[in-house]
Amino acid sequence: MRGEVGFPVRIRFSELGKVRFISHRDAARAFDRAFRIEALPIALTEGFSPRPQVSFGLALSVGHESVAEYMDVRFARDLDLDALPGRVSAALPEGIDVTGAVHLVDRAPALQESVTAVEWEIEVVTVEGAPVDGSALTDRIAAVLSATELPVTRTRKGREDTVDIRPGIRHLSVLRPGEVGTVLHAEVATQPGVRPAELVAVLGDAYRDLRVLRTAQWIERGEARCEPLDADALRAVEARAS
């Protein structure tokens, strides 16, 4: 985070249950209010129109759940990070919980640029919502992984683009039977990014996702692969909570 004043902190949080239907922006607003309810002062940027120094990591789509969301906040004063998860969670909507917080080194690279891979659990059902057999999916996964190219069409601001998602797929396998369908485990890169719905789409027209859960985000630097709380922590071990 930029700026010299204040105490940069990286926070990990989960977003589970009904609250998954709010947008990324709504979640940001909920944190903003929670910090104010708990009287945790955020440092402001300097300049003509000061703004709170908060930056969120990768966006979570409306309807997707996660146990691995991250944000960076610069607090105006030093805080007891052991107590922080409990305090902030109590002021957040039900289903959003802070599960860890660490002091960051000053000028740590931003989450958006640092995170290079994410993992998902995706429960797949038929388009009609009926159960899907795991072995049928195993065959489809094999076909997807052996493809040299997987073009998908994205619409952005009314313009259609074709993107090859194959280079972004690092891992795809059947994990376990789900409540209705079959749960897949996927790891994808963030550059080029791959969306869970695109993974399901390349498996075939007959399928759709029922539940999507982000289970991890990774920061990779050379050989090292870290959870974002560990990547740029000031005193990583000390401040880990719950």
Helix (H) or strand (E) holding 196: helix 196-203
Contact 218, 116 (CB under 8 A): yes
Q: How far is CA 143 from CA 122, 123, 133, 134, in A?
A: 18, 19, 16, 14
Q: What backbone phi and psi angles, to 5 degrees, belong to 25?
A: -65, -40
Q: Is 171 among the residues that bind other proteins (CB under 8 A)?
A: no
Asked if residue 177 has a cis previous peptide bond (ω within 30° of 0), the answer is no
Report the residue from 2, 36, 171, 235 that binds other proteins according to the rule CB under 8 A. 36
Cβ distance to other proteins smaller for residue 88 or 115: 88
Residue 16 tokens read as 């589970």
In angstroms, give the least distance from the CB of 129 to other proteins.
Answer: 7
| 166 SS3 class | helix
Q: Is 51 among the residues that bind other proteins (CB under 8 A)?
A: no
Instruction: Label the pairing between strands 224-226 and 207-221.
Output: antiparallel
What is the distance between the alpha carbons of residues 39 and 37, in angstroms, rounded to a whole number? 5
Q: Which residues ranging from 74 to 93 are in contact with other proteins (CB under 8 A)?
A: 91, 93
Cβ distance to other proteins smaller for residue 50 or 151: 50
Size of the site for other proteins (CB under 8 A): 22
Site string for other proteins, 122-161 (x = CB under 8 A): -------x--------------------------------
Cβ distance to other proteins smaller for residue 30 or 216: 30
- Name the segment binding other proteins (CB under 8 A); options: 34-42, 72-80, 146-154, 171-179: 34-42
**Count of Cβ atoms closer than 10 Å to residue 129 Cβ:** 10
Q: Is 35 among the residues that bind other proteins (CB under 8 A)?
A: yes
- Using CB under 8 A as the criterion, which residues of the chain lie in contact with other proteins when the complex forms? 18-19, 21-23, 26, 29-30, 32-37, 49, 62-63, 91, 93-95, 129
